[in-house]
Amino acid sequence: MSLSAYAEPKEAQRLEPNGLRLLAALEAMAEVGAQPDGSICRRGFSPEDRQGRELLGRWLREAGLSVRVDAAGNLIARREGLEPSLPALVTGSHLDTVPTGGRYDGTLGVIAGLEVLRCLQESNHPLRHPLELVVFADEESTMVGCKGMTGRASADPAAYATSNGESIERNLARIGGDWAHLASANRSDHAIAAFVELHVEQGGVLEQRQHDIGVVQGVVGQRRFTIRVNGQANHAGTTPMDERQDALVAASHVVLAVQQLAALHPGDPVATVGKLEVWPNAANVVPGEVVMSVDLRDLSADVLSGLEGDLRQRLSEVEARSGCRVLIEPQFEVKPTPAAPALMQTIADCAAHLGYSASPLPSRASHDAQEMGRRWPMGMIFVPSHRGLSHSAAEYTSLEQCLAGTSVLLASLLKLDQDLNPG
């Protein structure tokens, strides 16, 4: 759809998010789990998480919306449409945080969805499709909510590493979920028309570009490995340099190789050595073993495969030069999830129509949209993160930026309501 084809109905021209109400809701939610250092702690299933969900549920019911919790612990508000047989338009994100989280990560997408629903309710503006707001359960740890909704949740309780160390069965019960009936959270293919998530970027690209809106191209895939470099521990004083099998020296070449792979490889990948363990880790001993993590991310599965192949080749070269044995062990793989082109175009058109600058970019962090996009058409809207900071008390997105994202979300949902499933 071209921008020239954008035709907003007269009724929609009067629909604008209420900035003061949006700010008040963001501020009220930030008080739930507030820490002395200014960060927010609402770990999944914690009392603070439950308090935040209860607060949001109260706001939704006060707006005249039906609210339920599915077996996967997702809190779902629904506004019926004029054509109840149509699949739902869905928006949402999460309210749980990391231990020292910020006030916008996840929360903005939820509060913006609340504001969209409030705006529609107070104006009595009808939609053809039902509209749902979902607060996904435990995004920061198990992602049981979005995986349950998409039918990709493991049936093995041991597969869930919860932040409080308690069983997934007990945790789900705390928030109204039901482990015994987890499969019932799986929505049918025809239940959802599209999913659109508003989120802070959690990076500095939009701020660097000086753009208001990010049109997310998709959520990158990840491949993570453990690399073990085995040398020979020996006396640091008595072992000549040319007779050493120094595992740390060999590992340093691996670290540089990982950096070079991402910098030189076609596409726009990132590669990180984030964890390093040295044995015996003593000042007077030549290191005998190093264990490190390698994290590869890109939007293209082909690029990831190319990176992995090149990494394995580089490791063989390091092994041959150093005399150390270099082993690579896959840890996990998450496939990339591209955004639906039609939703990207809708978001871009709506941003332009509203006068906001916008540009495409990938999401290199995981989101609920990554799982939702494996089943249904998915789009994501990013707004800038000041200095690219997130998962910290320093996380900041201005009210104007939050309002811009909410406006684009509202306009996109209105446009999708017109365009999808034409009668």
Q: Which residue has the higher pLDDT, 417 or 7?
A: 417
**Which structure tokens are listed for 188?**
């049918």
Q: How confident is the model at residue 352 (pLDDT cuts 50, 70, 90)?
A: very high
Contacts of residue 177, Cβ cutoff 8 Å, sequence gap at least 6: 69, 70, 71, 72, 73, 74, 137, 144
- Tell whether the model's pLDDT for residue 304 goes beyond 90: yes
Split at pLDDT 50, 70, 90, the class of 267 is confident
**The pLDDT of residue 213 is above 50:** yes
Per the structure block, which two tokens stand in for 264? 């030189």
Confidence of residue 423 (pLDDT cuts 50, 70, 90): confident
Topology given in CATH for the domain delimited by 3-220+336-419: Aminopeptidase (3.40.630)
- pLDDT for 7 equals 44
Q: Which residues of the chain are in CATH 3.30.70.360 domains?
A: 221-334
- Rounded to an integer, the average pLDDT of 6-30 is 79
Mean of the per-residue pLDDT values for the chain?
95
At 386, give phi and psi (nearest 5°): -60, 125
pLDDT in tens, 63-99: 999 999 999 999 999 999 999 899 999 999 999 999 9
Q: What value does the mean pLDDT take over residues 356-385?
A: 97
pLDDT above 70 as % of the chain = 97
State residue 3's pLDDT score.
33
Is the pLDDT assigned to residue 10 strictly greater than 50?
no
Rounded to an integer, the average pLDDT of 200-220 is 98
Q: Looking at residues 87-116, what average pLDDT do you find?
A: 98
CA R_g for the chain: 24
- pLDDT at residue 5 tops 50: no
User: Residue 199 pairs with which residues in a beta bridge?
Assistant: 382
Kindly tell me the sign of the dihedral angle through the C-alpha atoms of 53, 58, 63, 66: positive
Per-residue pLDDT averaged across 339-346, rounded? 98
pLDDT in tens, 384-403: 999 999 999 999 999 999 99
221-334 CATH fold: Alpha-Beta Plaits (3.30.70)
Which residues make up the CATH 3.40.630.10 domain(s) of the chain? 3-220+336-419
- Residue 52: the pLDDT is 98
Q: How many CA atoms lie within 13 A of 55 on its CB side?
A: 20
Q: Is the pLDDT of residue 6 over 70?
A: no
DSSP summary character for residue 34: B
Q: Report the pLDDT value the prediction gives residue 263, as an integer from 0 to 100.
A: 94
- Asked if residue 124 lies in contact with residue 60, where contact means CB atoms within 8 angstroms, the answer is no
**DSSP-derived 3-state class of residue 295:** strand
Average pLDDT in the 35-42 region? 97
User: What band does 2 get if pLDDT is binned at 50, 70 and 90?
Assistant: very low
Closest CA to 300 of 256, 265, 348, 344: 265
Does the structure show a pLDDT above 60 at 141?
yes
Percent of the chain scoring above 90 in pLDDT:
95
